[in-house]
Structure formats: structure tokens, C-alpha cells
């Protein structure tokens, strides 16, 4: 597209897995990337000669779903993406919430069990540590070592190596009725429902969008979570709540980052024209 246009892009949006400083686009902390205080926005502006907006990847995905996907037309929504970890984003009164230090929406780190397992963030009992794919795989490995007969099928699906157990292997064994896999998935569902009830009580969205790779193996989570939340949350907060699946899939982050950059550019031009 750039070759055909024979011109640099006017604006570029980038979603990155980490905490990003608003404005500068500096990645304050990106544990999965091994980044700390990386001036990504500054470097890209110099290299591309364009306006660059850098934001958290899950916040970008939330923006994409809101503007272009399942959340189009809604003013109050929450996105929760279930994959290796768990991330989220919040739209309230038609504004994407960023918070005081640009860290709003860290929904994977709400506490759902005070004495729960340690999370990579340093806390214990986070939703991500109870229901994230990486955390479940870690727990499955420990259980397989303790109960090899019960976990044999999970290991077989993982290629015969207990260290190779993934969420996909757990879901595969769950589909076959394996008791250990069923235990793991049931515990994950309990934690996810508890987290969603807390989110609904705290934020009061009209729509919750669930996305991420875990739903590829467990698509029934969408209807099940809506049923559980309606049964556990206060009626005033949940009676009209809808829980739906992401429609943009793996493109949500890229589309959202691009939309954020475009909207920022348009807002700047409108401000200049006043």
C-alpha cells in the first residue's frame, strides 16, 4: 500500500504488550518482551517520519472491537481477552478509559482468590493466575506429575512430553471427558465467572466482549458466562447485560491501533481548524 501511495503514512498506530506512557509512546514495562523504558514511539517517529501512536495491545483491541467490531454502537462496554494471559479494556460513556497513569483496564489482575496461586505481576490470586492459559498449563504440569495416570491423556495430546502441555492439550483432553482436564477447565470457569461478576459490579457495562484464543477451543464460554453472571450478579447490573464474542479476532489489535491513530490525527486537524 505504501509503495502504491508513494508517500509515507500520515499516522501509524502500534499496539504493544506492556504498559505504555501516554503521549511519548515509551514502553515503561513489557515483561513478555523483556522491555523496560524502551522509547518505541520516539524511534518509530524518527524512522517513519509520521505521527505514531503507541498503546497497550489489549486496549487497542478493545478500541477495535468498539469502533469496528462487536461493540459498534455501544457506549459502555468491557472487553476481556483470554489467551496465554488475560487482558482487558473499558469503554465508559463513549470514552476509552486510560486512568491516572495510563494503566486502566488491567482486568486480568483483579483478585478473585486471596490465597490463590502467584501471578507473574507479583500478586496472588489474580484472574490471570487462575484462568489464563499459561497458568492452567503450569498447574496441569504439576498435577500430571502428581497423578500420572489421570493426566496421561493430556500428556499424549501434548506430544508425550509433560513440559509441552498447553491450554490446547488441556481442552483437547477435556473434550474427551478426561477427569483431570475437566477439573482444570471447571476451576477456570469458576474463576472467570467470579472475575466477570466483579467487573460487572464495578463498571456496570451494557456489553461484555470476550475474545482470545481460549475461545477457539471453548466457544461455549460466551453463553455459559452470560448465564453465570446473570445468576450471580446484582439484577440491576446484569438483567440487560449482553455477553458476546469478539468479531475481529486476531485483527482486533491492529485494526484498533490504526483506528486510534486515525482518530487522533483527525482530532488534531479539527483542533487546528478552529
Among 157, 10, 60, which Cα is nearest to 165's?
A: 157
Which residue is catalytic, options 57, 115, 120, 263? 57
Nearest to 256 by CA among 74, 71, 44, 9: 71
DSSP H helices, 204-251, are 214-217, 221-232, 235-238
CB 30 within 8 A of CB 19: yes
Give the whole-angstrom CA distance, residue 176 versus residue 191: 22
161 among known catalytic residues: no
Decide: residue 99, CB within 10 A, 0-12 exposed, 13-18 middle, 19+ buried.
exposed
Contacts (Cβ under 8 Å, ≥6 apart) of 111: 123, 124, 125, 126, 127
How far apart CA 98 and CA 59 sit, in angstroms, is: 9
d(CA 223, CA 261): 34
d(CA 125, CA 132): 11
Cell of 12: 501509524
Q: What's the Rg (C-alpha) of the chain?
A: 20
Helix (H) or strand (E) holding 260: helix 252-272
The residues annotated with a catalytic role in the active site are 57
Amino acid at each position: 500500500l505504501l509503495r502504491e501511495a508513494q508517500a509515507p503514512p500520515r499516522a501509524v498506530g502500534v499496539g504493544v504488550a506492556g504498559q505504555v506512557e501516554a503521549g511519548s509512546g515509551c514502553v515503561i514495562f513489557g515483561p513478555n518482551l523483556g522491555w523496560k523504558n524502551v522509547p518505541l514511539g520516539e524511534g518509530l517517529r524518527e524512522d517513519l517520519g509520521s505521527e505514531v501512536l503507541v498503546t497497550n495491545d489489549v486496549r487497542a483491541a478493545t478500541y477495535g472491537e468498539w469502533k469496528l467490531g462487536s461493540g459498534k454502537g455501544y457506549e459502555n462496554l468491557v472487553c476481556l481477552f483470554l489467551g496465554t494471559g488475560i487482558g482487558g479494556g473499558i469503554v465508559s460513556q463513549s470514552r476509552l478509559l486510560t486512568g491516572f497513569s495510563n494503566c486502566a483496564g488491567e482486568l486480568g489482575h483483579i483478585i478473585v482468590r486471596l490465597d490463590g496461586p502467584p501471578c507473574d505481576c507479583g500478586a496472588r490470586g489474580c484472574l490471570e493466575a487462575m484462568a489464563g492459559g499459561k497458568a492452567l498449563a503450569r498447574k496441569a504440569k504439576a498435577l500430571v506429575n502428581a497423578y500420572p495416570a489421570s493426566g496421561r491423556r493430556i500428556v499424549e495430546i501434548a506430544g508425550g512430553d509433560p513440559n509441552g502441555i498447553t491450554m490446547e492439550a488441556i481442552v483437547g483432553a477435556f473434550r474427551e471427558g478426561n477427569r483431570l482436564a475437566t477439573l482444570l477447565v471447571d476451576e477456570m470457569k469458576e474463576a472467570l465467572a467470579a472475575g466477570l461478576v466483579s467487573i460487572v459490579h464495578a463498571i456496570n457495562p451494557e456489553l461484555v466482549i470476550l475474545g482470545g484464543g481460549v475461545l477457539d477451543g471453548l466457544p461455549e464460554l460466551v453463553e455459559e458466562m452470560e448465564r453465570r453472571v446473570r445468576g450471580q450478579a446484582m439484577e440491576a447490573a446484569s438483567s440487560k447485560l449482553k455477553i458476546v464474542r469478539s468479531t475481529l479476532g486476531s485483527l482486533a489489535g491492529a485494526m484498533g491501533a490504526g483506528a486510534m491513530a486515525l482518530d487522533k490525527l483527525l482530532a488534531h486537524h479539527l483542533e487546528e481548524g478552529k
